[in-house]
Amino acid sequence: MNKPIGILDSGVGGLTIWREIVKELPNESTIYIADSKNCPYGIKTAEEIYNLAKRLAAFLVTQDVKLIVLACNTITVSCLDKLREEFKDVPIIGTVPVIKTASELTKNKKIGILSTSATSKSKYQKDLIEKFAGNCQVINIGTAKLARSIERGENVSLVLKNELKPFLETGVDTLVLGCSHFPLIKDQIQSILKDVQVLDSGAAIARQVKRVLEKENMRSKTKPNHNFYTTGDVKLFNKILSQSLEYNGEAESVIL
Ligand code: DGL
């Protein structure tokens, strides 16, 4: 089935998941939509997040996508089930932090999770921690500032030092990035948390997308095409796409 895969996020962060999907599934076309105008979602209420996410999903449905990836932890933990209920005809895959993997890899049983405020406070994330990392000490930090600064292409080094302090103080040996924006600054995180293994969800989500397409018999065999849309600043989007993702694409502006 040669329809594209639809990928949505509150902004540019989900491009880190888009990159893994394109790597895992090189014949698949994609349509990516970033709601940069309304980013950050991580400080909004569940109701606000749902209303915004619903518009992004509806846009992808009008583009005739065969599957939707919520490349955003905040959207996933807030309203994955509601979106599945609303858009019954399209399979929807969410993104969650790889807490299970972290609990298998940690040696000292001390895990850090860095996500947005909404994600860190959510029942969804607390349940994941209890289910998979009940035998570990988990430092679950929600940050209000990082995603917004990354979205705006600002220098995050000062903010980052502060946000990572609790992980240094506790001595976690494994850190889970629970927001799709954070892999964009993975090198900076790693340079502060030198001996910590830093994990993100991108590759796991890409494998999940592949499994679903195969199960539903939806794989494409044609030459792929990648389209990008943003509700925010097109130039900023293109800059992050070329500098951080090393991909030269031109986003189109969209008003939802
Ligand atoms: N990138 C999103 C996530 O994975 C949220 C960033 C934001 O808009 O706050 O959680």
Question: Please, are residues 119 and 144 in contact by the beta-carbon 8 Å criterion?
Answer: no
Ligand 1 pocket mutation, candidates 69, 73, 80, criterion most atoms within 8 A of CB: 73
Centre of ligand 1 to C-alpha 28, Å, is 25
> Which residue in 39, 72, 79, 136 is the catalytic one?
72
Distance from residue 1's CA to the centre of ligand 1 (Å): 30
Two tokens, residue 49: 């997040």
Strand partners of residue 177: 114
Is 179 tagged catalytic?
Answer: yes
Q: Is 180 in the pocket of ligand 1 (CB under 6 A)?
A: yes
Q: Is residue 70 within 6 Å of ligand 1 at its C-beta?
A: no
Sign of the alpha-carbon torsion through 140, 145, 151, 155: negative
pTM of the model: 0.97
Provide the pLDDT for residue 144. Answer: 87
Model confidence at 1: pLDDT above 80: no
136 catalytic? Reply is: no
**What CA–CA distance (Å, rounded) separates 102 from 108?**
11
The model's pLDDT over 192-228, given as tens digits with 9 standing for 90+, comes to 999 999 999 999 999 999 999 999 999 988 889 999 9
Q: Is the CB of 78 under 6 A from ligand 1?
A: no
pLDDT tens, position by position, 137-195? 999 999 988 999 999 999 999 999 999 999 999 999 999 999 999 999 999 999 999 99
Distance 157 CA to ligand 1 centre (A): 19
Q: Ligand 1: which residue has its CA nearest to atom 7?
A: 40
Residue 256, Cβ density class (10 Å: 0-12 exposed, 13-18 middle, ≥19 buried): middle
Annotated active-site residue in 39, 79, 136, 179: 179
Q: Which two tokens stand for residue 104?
A: 């298998």
Tell me the per-residue pLDDT of 22-65, one tens digit each, with 9 for 90 and over. Answer: 999 999 999 999 999 999 999 999 999 999 999 999 999 999 99
CB of 74 within 6 A of ligand 1: the answer is yes
